[in-house]
Amino acid sequence: MSHDFHERVENSIKNPKNMGEMADADAIGTVGSPGCGDMVRMWLKYKSENGKRIIDKATFQSFGCETAIAAASLATELIRGKTPEEAAQMSGTDLAADLGPLPPTKIHCTQLVEDALRSALSGPQADPPPKASEAGSPASLMDSLNPESHDASGVKLVFLDDDPTP
Ligand code: FES
């Protein structure tokens, strides 16, 4: 991993932007990486401007590596003011462009952010809009970490036993 890349990620996660649940979100997308087990959830709020629907605000939560957190933070800033169609055109690399060239082992981290965004963009928004607090849609990633449940993304979470004694 290049020193520059590491420094940019560290700078970005020192003060991540738009982290946390959005209670009045219009759309929510959650994805998990089967490879590393990390998860990203993104909330979107839309507004109308000049007859167009645009993204007014985006927030995220992540149980992921530093790169995923940095990329999600950058992405929520970058998509603000874009139409859903414009945001859907953006790749993970576009969304995390400020991090600079990504080491090959970190490309999937930005892909996870792209997938969370696409999941939110493709979610039901009109009938009725999903709210973070609605039943069936866990309010936070922590809610998703119920060992008895499967996340909406289909990721099954397996918790390790704290007590290693047999
Ligand atoms: Fe899994 Fe970065 S290592 S998202």
Walk me through the domains of the chain, giving residue ranges and CATH numbers.
Answer: 3-133 (3.90.1010.10)
- Mean of per-residue pLDDT scores for the chain: 82
Residue 107's φ and ψ, nearest 5 degrees, are -65, -35
- Which of residues 161 and 128 earns the better pLDDT score? 161
The pLDDT, as a whole number, for residue 132 is 46
Ligand 1 pocket test, pick from 31, 95, 108, 111 with the greatest ligand atom count within 8 Å of Cβ, gives 108
- Counting atoms of ligand 1 from 1, which one is nearest the CA of 106? 2
pLDDT surpasses 90 at 165 = no
- Annotated catalytic residues are 36, 109
The pLDDT, as a whole number, for residue 12 is 86
The alpha carbon of 111 and the centre of ligand 1 are apart by a number of angstroms equal to 9
pLDDT surpasses 60 at 6 = yes
Residue 73 corresponds to which tokens in the numbers above?
């933070």
Ligand 1 neighbourhood includes 107 CB (under 6 angstroms): no
